[in-house]
Structure 1
Amino acid sequence: MKKFKLNIKRISANELSDRMLLINLYFTQLLSIVIGLIVLFFQHQNIIDLLALPPNVSFLYWGAGLAAAVLVVDIVLSRWIPEEAADDGGINELIFKNRSVWHIAVISFVVALCEEILFRGAVQHAFGPYWTSILFAAIHVRYLRHWIPTGLVFSISYAMGWVYIQTGSLWTPIIAHFLIDLVMGLIIRFRRES
């Protein structure tokens, strides 16, 4: 009988090719939505009902308002926090620096949709916004090196859970998540050009 030996080598983000980085990004989002859908199934939640658009547009204002607040706080904090204290290992830079605007929008939407279905739709339904935010911060492992980005990710997640409760629409945190990722991706993209 042959022995199966698995070699696991830790590599840095800079060692990944652009293709492998995108494969990893989209694979993790596929995994997020599959896990989310499985959890929703066992919770007896209907994904169609969960993603139904509300009759009024107030969810848009809540989502856009939360995104604007997060972006203002992030921009203000970036003025005072040393860059190394907010370092994510360069992942966001690698993901967004050479993307076209349409691809940044696609990535932002895919990430927002998949992660919010899993975290706000499924996990928060079972554990509430606090524990969901702890898990959300933990899976964003690249931020765990420093307490400031970890605290920000936790706070943003908690705020998304709160607006989801307030509006009753999963589209509210999806819109907020999308706008935050889109604007930050565009800042990274165009900061590089200048």
Structure 2
Amino acid sequence: MSNDITLKDVWISFLLFVLVGAAIVFFVFGFSSAGYIAALFDTGSIIRETAVGAGAGLLSAGVLLALYKWTSLEFPDNQYTALIYSLLQKKYGVVTIAAGAGISEEFLFRGVLLGVLAYYIESLPALMIVSVIFMLVHVPQYKGSLTAHGVVLCIGLMLGWLFLLFGTLWAPIVAHALYNGLLGSAMKHALLEK
């Protein structure tokens, strides 16, 4: 596997997440899909929700960065981490990781999978199931670090809780984007110091 990836390829993968999510919504809700998707982006409380999301993203990133600084916690050394480092060095790489994942992953995992599953079963079991799926999707990326898998599970739980709290994607998108952006910037900065 190459240690390089183009921004175009990454954005295509994010687009695939959105298309898969839209297909699932259409399969479940049929011609009511547009209404469901519109409700995910309701702007009635957007200022409050983005503020809460920003606080959650900043706090989560701050805690993780503190753990990296003051403990022996490290990013795993594998081919996927090498791809992330390569991506971060590109112009707009940090923005891609922050905004692309923040929007596409939140749409698929929280807006679609969690939203649809919570429609059929209780919210707490739905939150746990989707958070585990979110962690499993990230297993290759953090292969070699059980702690990193635990962190991803906790982040998934937090993002899902924000979605269940507000019923829209504004808070989880902002939290996810800030979290990824701050971690990506820190990784890029640490790389430049080596």
> TM-score if structure 2 supplies the norm length?
0.81
1:18 Cα deviation from its structure 2 partner? 4.0
1:59-79 CA distance string (max 9 Å, x none): 012101111221122012212
SS at match of 2:102: helix
2:76 to 87, 101, 120: 87
Correspondence for 1:156: 155
1:107 Cα deviation from its structure 2 partner? 3.8
Correspondence for 2:134: 136
Correspondence for 1:6: none
RMSD: 1.9
SS at match of 2:19: helix
Higher CA-based Rg:
1
Q: Report if the CA contact (8 A) 1:54-1:169 is conserved.
A: no
Distance 1:110 1:82 in 2: 26
Where in structure 1 are there 5+ consecutive unaligned residues? Answer: 1-10
What is the one-letter code of the residue matched to 1:48?
A: A
1:48 Cα deviation from its structure 2 partner? 2.2
What is the one-letter code of the residue matched to 2:4?
A: S
SS at match of 1:138: helix
1:42 to 18, 27, 30: 27
Distance 1:52 1:88 in 2: 41
User: Which 10-residue stretch deviates more, 22-31 or 108-117?
Assistant: 22-31
Where in structure 2 are there 5+ consecutive unaligned residues? Answer: 118-125
Distance 2:96 2:188 in 1: 14
> TM-score if structure 1 supplies the norm length?
0.81
What is the one-letter code of the residue matched to 1:176?
A: A
Correspondence for 2:105: 115
1:58 Cα deviation from its structure 2 partner? 1.2
Does residue 17 in structure 1 map to residue 4 in structure 2? yes
Correspondence for 1:3: none
Aligned residue-pair number: 175
Correspondence for 2:12: 27
Does residue 58 in structure 1 map to residue 57 in structure 2? no
Q: Report if the CA contact (8 A) 2:46-2:170 is conserved.
A: no
Q: Report if the CA contact (8 A) 1:29-1:115 is conserved.
A: yes
Q: For 1:172-187, list aligned pairs within 5 A.
A: 172-187=171-186
What is the one-letter code of the residue matched to 1:32?
A: F
Q: Report if the CA contact (8 A) 2:76-2:143 is conserved.
A: no
1:192 Cα deviation from its structure 2 partner? 2.7
Distance 2:46 2:20 in 1: 30
SS at match of 1:190: helix
